[in-house]
């Protein structure tokens, strides 16, 4: 693939991803043509190649296209630009809320609460004692993707049983920092329409657990990734202060 063709594919894929994230609707070639200033025929050709390669798909006949998990992975790895975190009252409140806790387990539970509140997704946190905390499960049920009863049941089963999610989070501890699982990258069938983002925190200078979110694949990655990373950093700070 030439550089020009790859660049054009990236522009079209990025436009589809951003539009679908904003609207939760399939995206048509005419709309992409308008926002990129390219002909509809050119856009259709590029979308045909993206679909052939597995980056987008047509959810139903006569619809536009939506990103696949592979498309979101290409976007996250190569195209997205992280949004700088605003230094405002939200993060001051986050620090204050976590800092009020006096016991280690309370701090970790508070982290799951805070990240859910800020992102409007399901907050998750794994403590050093391997206890798993959930907060805001209902946020997933608010997403358009989860209107189908089968998807709701699959997700609630994962939340109820916890073992598969605990396995994912324990595996993420081996990769210090932020880890993103998109769609079929998740080991559980009940999470195949979800993205999990986790970030590790430390206690006494050792990676001891992680915090993060579960959301739909169609999420605001530029905003969510730095929030999860900042919360993990803040959790580390609070725990280190407690150990002094």
Higher-confidence residue: 8 or 63?
A: 8
Question: Which helix (DSSP H) or strand (DSSP E) does residue 137 occupy?
Answer: none
User: What pLDDT score was predicted for residue 208?
Assistant: 92
What is the extent of the structural domain holding 67?
A: 3-79
Query: Is residue 21 over pLDDT 90?
Result: yes
**Nearest residue to 235 (alpha-carbon basis) of 216, 213, 214, 208:** 208
Angle formed at CA 151 by CA 166 and CA 66, multiple of 5 degrees:
105
- Statement to judge: residues 100 and 8 lie in one domain: no
- Domain with residue 56: its CATH number is 1.10.10.10
Residue 117 covered by a domain: yes
Residue 84 covered by a domain: no
- Statement to judge: residues 47 and 127 lie in one domain: no
How much of the chain exceeds pLDDT 90, in percent?
A: 56
30: which residues sit within 8 A by CB, 6+ positions away? 40, 43
- Statement to judge: residues 48 and 153 lie in one domain: no
Over residues 86-115, mean pLDDT: 76
User: What pLDDT score was predicted for residue 85?
Assistant: 64
Two tokens at 147? 């209107």
- Statement to judge: residues 195 and 148 lie in one domain: yes
- Statement to judge: residues 107 and 24 lie in one domain: no
Confidence of residue 89 (pLDDT cuts 50, 70, 90): low
Query: Is residue 87 over pLDDT 60?
Result: no
Two tokens at 191? 């999470």
Query: Is residue 3 over pLDDT 80?
Result: no
Q: How far apart are CA 73 and CA 195, in angstroms?
A: 10
User: What pLDDT score was predicted for residue 139?
Assistant: 87
Query: How many domains does one find in the chain?
Result: 2
User: What pLDDT score was predicted for residue 187?
Assistant: 83
User: What pLDDT score was predicted for residue 112?
Assistant: 92
- Statement to judge: residues 102 and 71 lie in one domain: no
**Nearest residue to 191 (alpha-carbon basis) of 212, 167, 217:** 217
Confidence of residue 91 (pLDDT cuts 50, 70, 90): low
Residue 17 covered by a domain: yes
Over residues 20-48, mean pLDDT: 93
- Statement to judge: residues 128 and 220 lie in one domain: yes
Last residue of a domain, one of 55, 79, 103: 79
- Statement to judge: residues 121 and 222 lie in one domain: yes
Which CA distances in Å does 25 have to 29, 65, 79, 144, 212?
Answer: 13, 9, 21, 9, 26
Mean residue pLDDT of the chain comes to: 88
- Statement to judge: residues 57 and 132 lie in one domain: no
User: What pLDDT score was predicted for residue 10?
Assistant: 95
- Statement to judge: residues 25 and 60 lie in one domain: yes
153: which residues sit within 8 A by CB, 6+ positions away? none
Over residues 32-43, mean pLDDT: 92
Which CA distances in Å does 32 have to 18, 44, 78, 110, 122?
Answer: 11, 9, 20, 42, 31
Higher-confidence residue: 83 or 187?
A: 187
Residue 22 covered by a domain: yes
DSSP state of 139: H
User: What pLDDT score was predicted for residue 88?
Assistant: 60
- Statement to judge: residues 60 and 171 lie in one domain: no
């Amino acid at each position: 693939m030439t550089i020009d063709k790859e660049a054009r594919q990236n522009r079209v894929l990025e436009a589809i991803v951003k539009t679908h994230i904003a609207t939760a609707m399939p995206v048509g070639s005419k709309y992409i043509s308008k926002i990129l200033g390219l002909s509809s025929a050119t856009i259709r050709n590029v979308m045909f190649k993206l679909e052939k390669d597995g980056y987008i798909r047509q959810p139903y006949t006569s619809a536009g296209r939506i990103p696949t998990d592979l498309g979101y992975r290409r976007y996250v790895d190569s195209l997205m630009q992280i949004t700088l975190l605003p230094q405002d009252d939200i993060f001051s409140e986050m620090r204050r809320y976590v800092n009020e806790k006096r016991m280690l387990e309370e701090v970790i539970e508070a982290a799951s609460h805070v990240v859910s509140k800020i992102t409007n997704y399901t907050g998750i946190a794994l403590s050093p004692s391997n206890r798993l905390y959930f907060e805001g499960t209902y946020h997933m049920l608010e997403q358009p993707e989860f209107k189908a009863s089968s998807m709701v049941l699959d997700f609630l089963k994962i939340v109820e049983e916890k073992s598969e999610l605990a396995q994912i989070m324990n595996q993420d501890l081996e990769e210090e920092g932020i880890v993103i699982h998109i769609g079929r990258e998740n080991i559980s069938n009940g999470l195949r329409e979800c993205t999990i983002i986790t970030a590790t925190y430390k206690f006494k200078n050792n990676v001891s657990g992680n915090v993060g979110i579960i959301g739909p694949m169609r999420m605001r990655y530029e905003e969510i990734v730095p929030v999860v990373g900042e919360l993990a950093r803040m959790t580390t700070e609070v725990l280190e202060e407690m150990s002094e």
